[in-house]
Amino acid sequence: MSNAGYAQERETTEGKVFTVTGGDWDSIVSGVDPMHDERIVVNMGPQHPSTHGVLRLVLEMEGETVTEARLVVGYLHTGIEKNMEYRTWTQGSTFVTRMDYLAPIFNETAYSLAVEKLLGIEDQITDRANTIRVLMMELNRISSHLVWLATTGMELGALSMMIYGFREREFILDIFEMITGLRMNMAYVRPGGVAQDVPDTAIAKIREFLDFMPKRIKEYEDLLSGQPIWTARTKGVAVLDVTGCVALGVTGPVLRSSGLAWDLRKTMPYCGYETYDFEVPTQPEGDVYARYLVRLAEMRESLKIIEQALDRLKPGRIMVEDRKIAWPAQLALGNDGLGNSLEHVAHIMGQSMESLIHHFKLVTEGFRVPPGQVYVPIEGPRGELGAHVISDGGTRPFRVHMREPSFVNLQAIPAMAEGGLLADVIAGGASLDPVMGGCDR
């Protein structure tokens, strides 16, 4: 059997070294009779409807059994991390929010916390700003889990779940629009605080959401949990135990569904999470069904956190007081979308020439960040989302690199798929909840 397309190896003084590439289709199938020993090479993607975006899977099969699975990523590469080197620190929020587009608030928060750590202003972030960040992140966690539940339901045949999941997500996106002016990719969390305050109308809508959402989660369980097709497609499928998760760097609901209660909100708290009362759901089985149960339980815990955040949302500033850092914007929703309110523009223009110059320089040049590098991890909907940010003392990042859970978790697909059936590749891959915008960046 030809070795073409496989990782080449060579011996060095450090031991055996492998050169790994994506594996081109032609080189994999060349020189091998595809029907030899019933060996079939299946190219799934990158536009396959059940691969959660532009992910390509090259599967070698014997009959219906997967003998080898390889992932090829990079079809959605946007160059976000490189682009940030040419923008100010505040403009970075506009880029990172577009990485994992189902978890924009988490991207912004991880990046902002890293910039604030470099600036040494973590203790200056106001209580109201931290509470709003927690409130928005937990709403975002629920909306992200709803997309997972909706799309996984569709892929495994539960088409009604698709409709219900997106119905509730729309309600959350309406809340986001009331607060930030945008449904997705909001650039709302910024170094120093948040872009604008939460209006009373949004508070009322969140209260309404807290009222009906527990009943909806119960309806999802009634629809799926005892359904024989759902249980047959998920129980005992794509098992990954805690040893495998740790070895592969898998975090988030997938790790917790294998029995390890590792949640950065508890183990390495940030934004005041240590002051909130919530549990870390776990399941011991490590299969697709366990991941389903963990995500449902996490939505319930997020509802508890949101309620606590609303109760402690006291009046106060939403941005640090340091005028050399605080983005000078009082944003308002107008006929032309989102922009500075006319009152704020008039206020700036009516002040001294010096303050007008300061406003102009801060917006165009940005603030300087002391030299150094930090790594700040937070608990995203898919696992550990970390921001590694380096500053050379200038007004722009020297380097920003994100530890994206979608990218890291995807390497578990071969471990879950090989030896299983082709149909279970879909269930297993979906249970990781990968978002390719975060994976490719």
Residue 2 pLDDT more than 50?
Answer: no
Helix %, strand %, coil % for the chain, to 5?
A: 50, 15, 35
CA 307, chain centre distance (Å): 22
CA–CA dist 376, 396 (Å, integer): 18
Name which residue leads in pLDDT, 6 or 42: 42
Residue 92 pLDDT more than 60?
Answer: yes
Mean pLDDT of 223-250: 89
Residue 286 pLDDT more than 70?
Answer: yes
The tokens 């899977």 sit on which residue? 57
Q: To the nearest 10°, the Cα dihedral for 142, 143, 147, 150? A: 70
Buried b (16+ CB within 10 A) or exposed e, 170-193: ebbbebbbbbbbbbbbbbbbbbbb
Pair 375, 358: CB distance under 8 Å: no
Residue 31 pLDDT more than 60?
Answer: no
Lowest mean pLDDT segment, chosen from 13-17, 178-182, 412-416: 13-17
In terms of DSSP H, where are the helices of 283-352?
288-311, 342-350
Domain-wise residue ranges, the chain? 8-72, 92-321, 331-364
Name which residue leads in pLDDT, 350 or 6: 350
DSSP output for 53-65: SS-EEEEEEETTE
The model's pLDDT over 12-30, given as tens digits with 9 standing for 90+, comes to 876 776 665 655 656 655 6
Phi, psi of 180 (to 5 degrees): -110, -15
Mean pLDDT of 86-102: 90
DSSP letter, residue 190: E
Record the tokens describing residue 441, joined without a space. Answer: 């960046």
Tell me which residue of 241, 349, 345, 237 sits closest to 289, measured CA to CA: 237
Return the top range by mean pLDDT from 8-17, 57-66, 121-130, 137-146: 137-146
Q: What pLDDT score does 253 carry?
A: 92
Phi, psi of 40 (to 5 degrees): -125, 135
Q: What is the pTM of this model?
A: 0.86
Q: How confident is the model at residue 64 (pLDDT cuts 50, 70, 90)?
A: confident
Q: What pLDDT score does 167 carry?
A: 92
Residue 297 pLDDT more than 50?
Answer: yes
Pair 432, 411: CB distance under 8 Å: no
Q: What pLDDT score does 363 carry?
A: 78
Residue 271 pLDDT more than 80?
Answer: yes
Mean pLDDT of 165-184: 91
The tokens 């709803």 sit on which residue? 146
Q: What pLDDT score does 337 carry?
A: 54
In the three-class reduction of DSSP (H, G, I as helix; E, B as strand; rest coil), residue 338 is classed as strand
Q: In what order do the strands lie in the sheet with 372-380?
A: 372-380, 383-391, 399-403
CA–CA dist 196, 169 (Å, integer): 22
Of the chain, the percentage scoring pLDDT greater than 90 comes to 39
Residue 33 pLDDT more than 60?
Answer: no
| Burial label, 337 (beta-carbon count in 10 A; 0-12, 13-18, 19+) | exposed
CA–CA dist 109, 188 (Å, integer): 9
Residue 332 pLDDT more than 70?
Answer: no
Pair 280, 251: CB distance under 8 Å: no
Lowest mean pLDDT segment, chosen from 72-76, 91-95, 265-269, 388-392: 72-76
Q: What pLDDT score does 1 carry?
A: 45
Q: What pLDDT score does 111 carry?
A: 94
Rg, Å, the chain Cα set: 24
Centre a 10 Å sphere on the Cβ of residue 336 and count the other Cβ atoms it contains: 6
Q: What pLDDT score does 325 carry?
A: 78
**Helices 127-155 and 200-224 meet at what angle, rounded to 10?**
30
Q: How many helices (H) and strands (E) does the chain have?
A: 18, 12
Residue 428 pLDDT more than 50?
Answer: yes
Pair 194, 328: CB distance under 8 Å: no
Q: What pLDDT score does 181 carry?
A: 84
Mean pLDDT of 185-190: 90
Record the tokens describing residue 62, joined without a space. Answer: 């014997």
Q: What pLDDT score does 15 carry?
A: 74
The model's pLDDT over 113-132, given as tens digits with 9 standing for 90+, comes to 999 999 988 888 889 999 99
Buried b (16+ CB within 10 A) or exposed e, 17-46: eeeeeebeeeebbeeeeeeeeebeeeebbb
Centre a 10 Å sphere on the Cβ of residue 330 and count the other Cβ atoms it contains: 14
CA–CA dist 402, 41 (Å, integer): 33
Per-chain mean pLDDT for the chain: 85
Q: What pLDDT score does 296 carry?
A: 93
Residue 62 pLDDT more than 70?
Answer: yes
Residue 342 pLDDT more than 90?
Answer: no
CA–CA dist 316, 128 (Å, integer): 6
Residue 334 pLDDT more than 60?
Answer: no
Q: What pLDDT score does 27 carry?
A: 64
Domain 92-321 has CATH 1.10.1240.10: no
Mean pLDDT of 151-178: 90
